[in-house]
Structure 1
Amino acid sequence: MIIQKGLKFTMNDLAANLGISKRTIYEHCESKEHLISVIVDDAINEVKEIEKLIYENDDLTTVGKLKEILLIIPSGLQFGDARLLAEMKRYAPKEWVKIDKQLQEE
């Protein structure tokens, strides 16, 4: 839903897309904000895990490691999507801070 509609998706949109009730979603997630937070946290953790594997790969040169790191794209959230990042900054400022910190550290 984030890829299709950005952060403007509703929980109704999500429920319809998944073919489940909104109530079912709320049994697992307390709010849309919580859901977005989990997605952001998972994406950041995925990037960190991939980076660690790259750093530890002795078959890659330093330049090779740098190239691999620059190509990392988390499966759940596209940090390179300018529209999504702008929406994150505007509609989910707490999550934007997490993403911005990760991008700055990189």
Structure 2
Amino acid sequence: MRWKYKESELREFILDTTIQLFKLKGLKFTMDELAKEMGISKKTIYRVFPDKKTMFYRMVDFFFDKIKSEEEEILKNDKLSTVDKIRAILGVMPEEYKDIDFSALYIVRDKYPKSYERIVERLETGWDNTIKLINQGIKEGVVRPIDVTVVKAMLSATIEQFFQKDILVRNDMSYPEALASVVDIICCGIIIK
């Protein structure tokens, strides 16, 4: 099949299919399997991405850009309170990726170190909307005065730990479950009031 669409559409199709294949096989799928899943030639994939490492690197940005898009939708939703928006943004996960098991992503650090570095970089940036929202909650009196930098560091470091080690695998916990638990602890603390 010859691809008849724009290069950007093909790139998105490849990356989206890569994520879906990751859902089924983790990082262990081949480019042949990806081409077969997409119904295109491997040559077409290599026209867009010269190798699997580059594709995984671009997949990091693709995934995080989708998260940012979801964040924008949350911020625009007038039906959500400030607290609801904070909870939603801290635990945001694009709907189409909610059933993906990210618990094995710790393998990325060793197998695809540049992609891992990009994950860390993206985790540590792009916090402006979240910080504004938490500060808005403080002004409204629905969030107690806190150092937002500490919240950012806590969440970033925790997610990074999930990606660095096999913590989730050893504890038979999915990434969405772990993220929801972290958000709950950040929002509610650990002490019963």
> TM-score, length-normalised on structure 1?
0.76
Q: Does the aligned pair in 2 maintain the 1:6–1:87 contact within 8 Å?
A: no
CA distance in 2, matches of 1:76, 1:96: 19
Residues 4 and 13 (structure 1 numbering): CA distance in 2 closer, same or farther, change over 3 Å?
A: same
How does 1:35-50 map onto structure 2 within 5 Å? Answer: 35-50=55-70
Query: Which residue is equivalent to 1:67?
Result: 87
Q: Larger relative CO (CA 8 A, sep 6+): 1 or 2?
A: 1
Once residues 100 and 52 of structure 1 are traced to their aligned partners in structure 2, the CA distance between those partners, rounded to angstroms, is: 21
* 1:95 corresponds to: 115
Q: Report the CA distance between 1:80 and its aligned residue.
A: 6.4
Per-residue deviation, 1:8 = 1.8
Seen in structure 2, the aligned counterparts of structure 1 residues 62 and 79 have a Cα distance that, compared at 3 Å, is: farther
Q: Distance in 1 between matches of 2:66 and 2:37?
A: 25
Q: Name the residue aligned to 2:184.
A: none
Compute the TM-score of the two structures, normalised by the length of structure 2: 0.46
- Structure 1, unpaired ranges of 5+: none
Q: Tell me which residue corresponds to 1:32.
A: 52
Shift of 1:78: 7.4
Equivalent residue number for residue 102 of structure 2? 81
1:104 counterpart (145, 156, 173) = 156
Deviations 1:42-77 (A, max 9, x none): 111111222233234444222101221244213469
Change (3 A) 1:77 1:35: farther
Secondary structure of 1:90's match?
helix
Identity %: 34
Q: CA RMSD in A?
A: 2.8
CA gap 1:76/1:17 in 2 versus in 1, 3 angstroms: same
Contact 1:37–1:95 (CA under 8 A) maintained in structure 2: yes
Q: Which protein shows a greater Rg?
A: 2
How many pairs are equivalent?
Answer: 105
SS of 1:66 mapped into structure 2:
helix
What one-letter code is carried by the residue in structure 1 that aligns with 2:57? S
